[in-house]
Amino acid sequence: MVKLFLADGSSLQDALNNGNIFICDYKKMEGLSTRTLNGKHLFVASGFCLFYVNPQHKLLPIAIQLTQNPSEDNPIFLPSDSESDWLLAKMFIKNADFLMHQTVHHLLNTHVVAEVYTVATFRNLPSVHPVYKVSTETLYIGSFCSLTDEGVLELMKRSLSELTYSALCLPENITARGLDTIRNFYYRDDSVKLWNIMHG
C-alpha cells in the first residue's frame, strides 16, 4: 500500500532495514472520556501514523489508521486518497498527538513529575542556590479540548504507569526511540545542548 510513497525501487522492508520507518501509536487514547458537542461525543483518534524518512531526509506521514483494530470501518488513509480525506486523517492524528503532548509530556512529565523535585528543592536548598532560582511553581493547564477531566486523568494514569527513569533522561530517551541519527530533528539538537550544559 505504501510502496508508491517510498524511494524508487525501495520496499517497506528496505526502508525498515535502513532505519527510515517510524510509527506513532496512540493506543493510550483508546476509550478515553471525551467532551460532547451538540449532544454527540467528540472523536479522538487512537490509531497509528506511519512515517518515512525520504531521500531528502524529510520525515513524512505515509499511512494513517484512526483506531487500533483494522476493519472495513477503519480504513488505512494514504497520501493518494482524496485531498480532503488525507487532510482530515492528518488532522485527527494531529489532535491525538496534541492531546498526548499537552497531557502527558507537558502536564504530567514536566509539571506534575517535576513538582516533587521542586518541593524538595524549596525545602532543602537555600534561596541563593542556582537550582532554587531556576525552579518554578507548577501550573495546571486549563484546556484539553476534546477530553473531559476524567479522560485527562485516565490518560495521565496510563502514561504514569509506563513511565521509567530512563525515559526522563533525554539522551537515553532519544536513543531508545531510534531518533539519534535522524536529520533535521531540531528538538533533539537543541535539547541535547541544554542537557549537556546542565550536566557539563
Predicted pLDDT of residue 140: 41
Q: Which residue type does 76 have? A: I
How many separate domains does the chain show? 1
Averaged pLDDT score across all residues of the chain: 89
Residue 172 domain-assigned (yes or no) = no
In-domain check, residue 84: yes
Q: Which residues contact 181 (CB under 8 A, 6 or more apart)?
A: 19
In-domain check, residue 180? no
Distance of CA 194 to the CA centre of its chain: 20
Q: Residue 85 belongs to a domain with what CATH number?
A: 3.10.450.60
Per-residue pLDDT band at 11 (split at 50, 70, 90): very high
Give a yes or no: residue 193 inside a domain: no
Give the other-Cβ count within 10 Å of 66's Cβ: 22
Mean pLDDT over 48-62 rounds to 95
Cell of 54: 525520504
Q: Is position 195 within any domain?
A: no
Q: Give the cell for residue 162.
A: 509506563
Q: Which residue has the higher pLDDT, 8 or 150?
A: 150
Q: Which residue has the higher pLDDT, 116 or 93?
A: 93
Q: Does 13 map to a domain?
A: yes
Sign, CA dihedral 17-22-27-28, equals positive
Domain contains 127? yes
For residue range 26-38, list pLDDT tens digits in order.
Answer: 999 999 999 999 9
Tell me, yes or no, whether 125 lies in a domain. Answer: yes
- The DSSP result for 71-117, as a single string, is BTTBPEE-TTS-HHHHHHHHHHHHHHHHHHIIIIIIIIIIIIHHHHH
Q: Which letter does DSSP use for residue 147 in this model?
A: B
DSSP per-residue letters across 4-52? GGSSTT--HHHHHHTT-EEEEE-GGGTT--B-EETTEEPP---SEEEEE
- What is the per-residue pLDDT across 152-196, written as a single tens digit (0 to 9) for each? 999 999 999 999 989 989 999 999 999 988 888 999 999 999 999
For residue 89, the enclosing domain spans 3-163
Q: Which three cell numbers stand for residue 142?
A: 486549563
